[in-house]
Structure 1
Amino acid sequence: MSATHSGCAIVHSGTVIHPDRAHADLGEVTVCRGVIADSDCRHDPVIIDASDCLVSPGLVDVHLHGALGHDLTEPDAVIWQQILSTHLLAGTTTAMATLASTTPAITAAALATAASLLAEQQTPTLAGVHLEGPCLATSQRGAHERTHLRSPSTLLTELTPLPPALRMVTLAPELPGADELITYLTGHRIHVSAGHSAATEDQLAHAQRLGLSHLAHLWSGQSTLTRPSLRRIPGLLEASLASEDLTAEIIADGHHLPATLLKIALRCLGPQRLCLVSDATAGTGLPAGQSFRVGATTGRVHDGYAATEDHTSLCGSVTPLAVTVARMRTLTGATVEDVVTMATATPARVAGLYPRKGSLHTGADGDVVVFTPDLSVRAVLLAGRQVTTDSKVAS
């Protein structure tokens, strides 16, 4: 992969999508020395013709595990750069490196790798680390290895002092000791997400009062309605859909959820609170039949999806975020503006990065994606530099 020119570019004659304004207009986007500018650039910008194309902010993925046979729990900086570069080529200009449940030593080593990369600014798309686990409900663990689940009190010890690269933690808020962990994390401005959880409506509301603000992948690892005797008790899923201010993730890869559920999620939360995530694993870019690791779990690639080796649970996805943008539009009939919002401004807000990321506001980072009318990625700019490659991007 390489990036061309000095960070100055003009993308012209495209339909520019403004996710925070819910509209698009014919025009141009100017990037000057790496940031969005409101006037002409006088530093010999590269001209990119976006005629008949859609121009959007760079995509923001807050839930991404790996690619090309490698997982972000591998504490090798070169591997991290390869994974993030692969997703960059597919349009993801900002990524939260997500670590699935594994041993404390492996998690600590991966967090150290992330801290080094952030300190040295070697991987400009890296926005920090998202721990998915290990404090998860056994009954909702999905593809996470049971033997690597741990208590909130144990994780609190592991995260004291706080690793500098940590930005988000997904946990089951109903677990004993979760209150103390949530309070500690949110007190240090770490975003806390409920996921792989059997929480009740009341337990979710309690965690929200402590600072929990987000929900991991809807319908994946969430308790649902129970009916003891004559009563109906909402589970985490129903509480998620009924929430008035929580944000939530959806995996629109065409395999995790059917169109009906995607439509329900969008109708309940709207594009300003529902964000698309890839949940892409090391299986992304591998042929069907290949096995891979995500955290401590072994998965296998099938035709467009991944599953655990016993085929009892989906094992993340094998789909870059840009592909879910196109599929969300196809499956739900949502507007281009809405699906782009769900992959840019909304996840950027979740990560606390908006409007520097996920927008085309003056002064925002010059991260831009040019889509064809069918929402295939045609060009990617990172800080105004057009990214190129000789290899085929997974789709």
Structure 2
Amino acid sequence: MSGPPPATGCAVVRSGTVIPAPGRRSRGDVVICRGTVRNGCSHDPVPVDANGLLVAPGLVDIHVHGAAGHDLTDPDPAAWHHVLDTHLSAGTTTMLATLASTSPERTAAALATASALITSADAPTLAGVHLEGPCLAPAQRGAHDRAHLRIPAEVLAELTPLPKGLRMVTLAPELPGADALIAYLAGQGVRVSAGHSAATSDDLTRARQLGLSHLAHLWSGQSTLTRPVLHRIPGLLEASLASHNVTAEVIADGHHLPAALLTIALRCLGPERLCLVSDATAGTGLTPGTTFHTGASRGRVHDGYAATADHSSLCGSVTPLAICLARMQEMTGAPLEDVLTMATATPARAAGLYPRKGSLLPGADGDVVLLGPDLSVRQVLLRGRLLTAAGAEPVR
């Protein structure tokens, strides 16, 4: 599906329950003209029957490492197309290619691949790169390879000038030199995220003042409450839940977090600030027992989850975002509109892409996912081209 850039299409999605943006629900048609949501189209749009289905913006995944045996630190464009296509078929029409900690050379090569794909418009679902690491706290590194963690000053030099397509960086804001890196990235329009970090509330406050705006996967790689003597000191987790005006992620794959923690995150942040992410790795779509790599680390697929080789840490997930969407609703009982917001508008805002992505408002890209009552993906449209139905109009 990636391959040569697809021509934009014209379509009218009819008779569905439409959720075009947060807090809005209607019954009717969505018109896509030459790849963009419009009020009308005079080019004989292809009819798409959505009777009995939910019509939502295409899903937006801002934290995804790979799929189908391919990791995005592999600079081979063919590997990137495999990953993008796998997630597209599962309803993710916009994603940030997330690079786990690895060697500087491999990271630079992957960034060059992303730049080439974006420049050539050869990967229409690729919205940029999310660099997760290597400036992470060793004690909170999770599945990241300790040998490939590095200091902010080194990474600042490597990211100057800024690589094309870099849209988000996750780092530990308490590290020496992180202030300069945060200020530089934020000044260049890159979203800065705190994650795999032993930060305190004061560290997060300082980072926010420098431009940090996002928090990676809550409860995964975050320092928590301590009580050195008498008084309790909040860690990054508690500071995240008490924060204002920042977005945050949860991985609702049914393995990372139990229902109670997902419910706490939603109550604290609300759907306007809580993002669903897949954190999907190369293990997505592979059978239990299969090994894979994510960045410089190795993982093994188990029944519904992935773990490091020594089984000491979860190693991302093996679950596409659409399945996290359904599990979030099942585990928390959140309203449908709220769950969809967390997988569309909120991550799009966190990445600076809304409303062109994450909405079906006039002027948005014509990326649509049709969902059954159980939130299973039935059909996907990418910029007005129907992709998944038998006999559907080809994407190219």
**TM-score between the two structures when normalised by the length of structure 2:** 0.96
**Runs of 5+ in structure 1 lacking a partner?**
391-395
Residue 317 (structure 2) pairs with residue 320 (structure 1):
no
The residue aligned with 1:123 is 123
Residue 22 (structure 2) pairs with residue 15 (structure 1):
no
Counterparts of 1:21-60 in structure 2, within 5 Å, are 22-39=23-40, 41-60=41-60
The Cα shift of 1:18 comes to 2.9
SS at match of 1:30: strand
Code of the aligned partner of 1:37 = R
Rate the CA distance shift 1:182–1:4 in 2: closer, same or farther, 3 A. closer
1: CA distance between counterparts of 2:343 and 2:21? 9
Contact preservation (8 Å) 1:4, 1:387 = no
The residue aligned with 1:344 is 344
The Cα shift of 1:161 comes to 1.5
Percent of aligned pairs sharing the same letter? 70
Residue 105 (structure 2) pairs with residue 134 (structure 1):
no
Contact preservation (8 Å) 2:379, 2:389 = no
Contact preservation (8 Å) 1:5, 1:46 = no
Q: Deviations over 1:45-100 (max 9, x none)?
A: 11111111101001111001000000000001111111101100100000000000
The Cα shift of 1:229 comes to 1.5
The residue aligned with 2:394 is none
1: CA distance between counterparts of 2:306 and 2:252? 14
SS at match of 1:388: coil
The residue aligned with 1:199 is 199
The Cα shift of 1:6 comes to 5.5
Counterparts of 1:186-335 in structure 2, within 5 Å, are 186-335=186-335
SS at match of 1:19: coil
1: CA distance between counterparts of 2:336 and 2:364? 21
The Cα shift of 1:165 comes to 1.7
The residue aligned with 1:158 is 158
Contact preservation (8 Å) 1:252, 1:262 = yes
Deviation larger for 153-162 or 251-260: 153-162
2: CA distance between counterparts of 1:5 and 1:126? 16
Contact preservation (8 Å) 2:65, 2:97 = yes
* Alignment length (residue pairs): 388
SS at match of 1:94: strand
2: CA distance between counterparts of 1:207 and 1:288? 40
Say what the alpha-carbon RMSD is for the aligned residues.
1.3
Deviation larger for 45-54 or 293-302: 45-54
The residue aligned with 1:379 is 379
Contact preservation (8 Å) 1:380, 1:387 = yes
**TM-score between the two structures when normalised by the length of structure 1:** 0.96
Code of the aligned partner of 1:268 = C
1: CA distance between counterparts of 2:206 and 2:280? 31
Code of the aligned partner of 1:38 = N
Rate the CA distance shift 1:378–1:196 in 2: closer, same or farther, 3 A. same
Contact preservation (8 Å) 1:15, 1:53 = yes
Spell out structure 1 runs of 4+ moving beyond 2 A.
1-6
SS at match of 2:387: strand
1: CA distance between counterparts of 2:7 and 2:112? 32
The residue aligned with 1:369 is 369
Contact preservation (8 Å) 1:135, 1:172 = yes
1: CA distance between counterparts of 2:185 and 2:33? 37
**Runs of 5+ in structure 2 lacking a partner?**
391-396
2: CA distance between counterparts of 1:165 and 1:54? 32
The Cα shift of 1:4 comes to 9.1
Code of the aligned partner of 1:11 = V
Code of the aligned partner of 2:10 = C
The Cα shift of 1:23 comes to 3.2
Contact preservation (8 Å) 1:18, 1:337 = no
The residue aligned with 1:393 is none
